[in-house]
C-alpha cells in the first residue's frame, strides 16, 4: 500500500508501525502464560523430587484427590465424572491419566453398585502404600518451595491459584 500524498497515516509496513507493534508485543502481559510457565517449573521440581518413587506430581495429585474425595464421602470412592470435575479436566484426560496407575496396580476401577455403567476410582493397597511414600518426597519439595518463596508468599500463591480454579472465579469472569 502506497502512501497518498498529503496523508499522514503510515502504511502498515512503515518502520514506525513495526516499532510500535514490537513494543506492544514486548510489553504484553499475559496471566495465562505466566501461570503456565510457573506451573511447568514447579511441576518439574516436584517431578524430580518424586522420581525416587516413580510417580509424577500429576499422578500424586490424582491419587491424593481420589483419597481425599473418598474420605469426604465416608469412604465411598469417587466416580470418574466427579473426579474429573474436581480436577477441572475432561473425562477423557482423566481416563488417560489413570491408565498407567491402573496398569501398575495402584488404582482400580469399580462399577457403581446402583449404576453399573458408572465407574469409581479406588486406590489399591499398593497405591495407598506408594502414595504414603510419595507424600514424604512431595513434602520435602513443598517445604523447599516455601523456603524460597517465603511462607506468606507461598500461601498467597496457593490462595490466588485456588480462587482462579474455583467456580466463583469462573462466574465472576463470565459476568454471572
pLDDT number for residue 162: 93
C-alpha cell at 39: 506451573
pLDDT number for residue 115: 87
Local confidence pLDDT in tens for the 176 residues of the chain: 444 444 445 455 567 777 676 666 676 778 999 999 999 999 999 999 999 999 999 999 999 999 999 999 998 999 999 999 999 899 999 999 999 999 999 999 999 888 888 999 999 999 999 999 999 999 999 999 999 999 999 999 999 999 998 999 999 999 99
Residue keyed to cell 518502520: 15
pLDDT number for residue 4: 41
Distance CA 117, CA 80 (A): 11
Are the C-beta atoms of residues 66 and 119 closer than 8 Å to each other?
no
Kindly tell me the burial class for residue 124, based on how many C-beta atoms sit within 10 Å of its own C-beta (0-12, 13-18, 19 or more): middle
3 state DSSP class of 100? helix
Q: H-helix or E-strand containing 110?
A: strand 107-111
pTM for the model stands at 0.78
Sequence spans of domains, the chain: 52-140
3 state DSSP class of 127? helix
Eight-class DSSP state of 105: T
pLDDT number for residue 21: 67
- CATH number for region 52-140: 1.10.10.10
pLDDT number for residue 7: 46
Amino acid at each position: 500500500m502506497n502512501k497518498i500524498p498529503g496523508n499522514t497515516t503510515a502504511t502498515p509496513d512503515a518502520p514506525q508501525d513495526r516499532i510500535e507493534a514490537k513494543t506492544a508485543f514486548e510489553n504484553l502481559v499475559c496471566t495465562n502464560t505466566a501461570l503456565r510457565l510457573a506451573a511447568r517449573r514447579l511441576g518439574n521440581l516436584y517431578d524430580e523430587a518424586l522420581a525416587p518413587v516413580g510417580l509424577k506430581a500429576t499422578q500424586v495429585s490424582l491419587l491424593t484427590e481420589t483419597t481425599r474425595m473418598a474420605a469426604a464421602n465416608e469412604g465411598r470412592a469417587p466416580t470418574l465424572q466427579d473426579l474429573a470435575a474436581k480436577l477441572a479436566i475432561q473425562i477423557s484426560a482423566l481416563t488417560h491419566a489413570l491408565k498407567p496407575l491402573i496398569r501398575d496396580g495402584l488404582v482400580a476401577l469399580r462399577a457403581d453398585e446402583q449404576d453399573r455403567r458408572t465407574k469409581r476410582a479406588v486406590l489399591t493397597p499398593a497405591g495407598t502404600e506408594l502414595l504414603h511414600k510419595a507424600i514424604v518426597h512431595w513434602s520435602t519439595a513443598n517445604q523447599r518451595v516455601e523456603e524460597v518463596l517465603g511462607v506468606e508468599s507461598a500461601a498467597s500463591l496457593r490462595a490466588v491459584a485456588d480462587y482462579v480454579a474455583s467456580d466463583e472465579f469462573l462466574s465472576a469472569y463470565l459476568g454471572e
